[in-house]
Amino acid sequence: MYALELKNINKSFGDVHANKNICLQIPKGTIHGIVGENGAGKSTLMSIIYGFYEPDNGEILVNGNALKINDSCDAIAAGIGMVHQHFMLVENFTVLENVLLGAEDGAMLNESLGKARKRLEKLEEEFSLEVNVDAIVERLSVGLQQRVEILKALYRDAKILILDEPTGVLTPQETKHLFKILNILKEQGVTIVLITHKLQEILDITDNVSVMRQGEMVAHTKTKGTTREELAELMVGRKVRLKVDKSDSEVKESLLSIQNLSVIDHQNVPRVNNVSLEVKAGEVVGIAGVSGNGQSELLEAIAGITAIQAGKIQFAKEAITPEHPISPDKIRKLGVAHVPEDRHKMGMVTKMTASEAAILGYHNDKTYNGRILMDLKAVEQDCAEKMQRWDVRPPKPELKSANFSGGNQQKLIIAREVEQNPDVLLIGQPTRGVDIGAIEFIHEQVIKLRDAGKAVLLVSVELEEIMALADRIVVMFDGQIVGEVAAKDADELTLGLMMANAAGNEDNQQEN
């Protein structure tokens, strides 16, 4: 008997057939990985299992029993829990209040809280999920918040646990501890479905893996019988280079110098604290760190988006100081391009067409304008050429930006910035939410820019990406640079400890 079985699941959204005759069998008490490119149908399938979508046809069986799952309440009642990529927590509630929310067993809240406290203490001990139940969630690390989400599911008696990209913002030490927890859950008979784009994690933690491509299941295999290369080829439908090919950097003059920089947010909280950094022509400098430690604010300050309170940002020809701010438009004209970390909030306007998104920020350039009005034919032609060079699919400039997958949106944004031939490229989370085929292509473009003598400042939470692309790596923690290492000397353990500001104390990071 299988813990979860899917038979011929189909789901369409208009003309898009998101899931096509999906069949899947997951044995009880195993960790099952599901991988696939962006748009392969993974999220749609998980949403069907958890009751967010209803399948057009097909059958879902839990422990051999056919079920109709109309909503998440039905899924929870069937013993299915889900930990989303973006946590569903009330940040100003305590851990105890978050776990109990929606699962109160009577009108007397104090009585419910008392029962929940006792049950949580037992769950924490049983599954090694130690966390202070009275702590306010917003004050917890990302790793501890994730434990709260797992506790929520277990409190509701989940026997099948779905995790969507669970390690996206974790340090290597937090990831290691999460995998320890997952193995304990498996030993206790919990069945785990793991959605991740990190193929090494699939090999490290799962028992079996299924591959989706273009809405279909194309392979099921035991994890021990496969490799990263085989999985990547199954996902994309062609061979994929998983290693970045690059020569030694040829470093030249400084193109970006940051001196004693400080940034304070609108709530008067320091986000960047006395940071000094230099990026030279012909090198990629990577900034590693858990999200929320000042990397975003640093990039935005350099791009002229966020005001600085102290220090100086020196480009080749001009400087930004608190007394002499420079607009983002003028910074672009100085030869600085910016690929923002959040493509939807800052990289594009999704209601615009692709052709409009492809010139955003550069729309006043004479290339796109006639004597009076914008040359729409030139704009569309320019976008069509970018789409061809960067393999943006579908190659239709007239489509709304929102109609493209995340990976194709990202390629369009990077094409827009890189094809300006900037002296300095600021690039944040270049492959966040991007499938493995697009990752390969984006990495190639970053290295080409470096080899052309440009300076690249890269921010990424993906340590594998940082180590593959960067020549030098600095680590930020709580708004400060806490370490620097040459990429050739870097390893995930050392960087992870720096990211947690706990060098030499791995056990402390795991528990705190």
* Whether residue 44 is found in the same domain as residue 148: yes
Q: Residue 125 belongs to what domain range?
A: 2-236
From CA 212, how far away is CA 19, in angstroms rounded? 9
Walk along the chain (512 residues) in steps of 10 and give the mean pLDDT of each run: 96 90 97 88 92 95 95 94 85 91 70 84 87 90 87 93 84 84 94 90 96 94 95 90 87 96 91 97 95 91 96 93 96 96 89 96 92 93 95 89 83 94 95 79 93 96 91 96 94 88 48 40
286 and 205 within one domain: no
Residues 201 and 289 in one domain: no
241-255 as b/e, with b when 16 or more CB fall inside 10 Å?
Answer: ebebebeebebeeeb
- Whether residue 453 is contained in a domain is answered as yes
Q: Are residues 165 and 290 in the same domain?
A: no
- Same domain flag for 224 and 348: no
Residue 159 and residue 18 in one domain:
yes
The verdict on residue 418 lying in a domain is: yes
Domain end marker among 216, 236, 256: 236
Residues 127 and 219 placed together within one structural domain of the fold: yes
Domain assignment present for 22: yes
| Nearest C-alpha neighbor of 3 from the set 59, 77, 78, 82 | 78
| C-alpha torsion 348→273→446→367, nearest 10 | 40
Peptide bond into 430 cis (omega under 30): no
In a domain, 270, yes or no: no
Q: How far is CA 257 from the centre of its chain?
A: 28
* Domain membership flag for residue 405: yes
Residue 490 lies in a domain: yes
* Same domain, yes or no: 210 and 288: no
CATH code of the domain in which 181 resides: 3.40.50.300
Residue 508: what pLDDT?
40
399, 483: one domain: yes
In a domain, 416, yes or no: yes
What pLDDT, on a 0 to 100 scale, did the predictor assign at position 512? 41
Verify that 398 and 333 share a domain, yes or no.
Answer: yes
Domain match, 343 and 476 both: yes
Which positions ≥6 away from 495 have C-beta within 8 Å? 172, 288, 463, 466, 467, 473, 475, 485
In a domain, 372, yes or no: yes
What is the structure's pLDDT at 274? Answer: 97
Domain count along the chain? 2
Residues 333 and 443 in one domain: yes
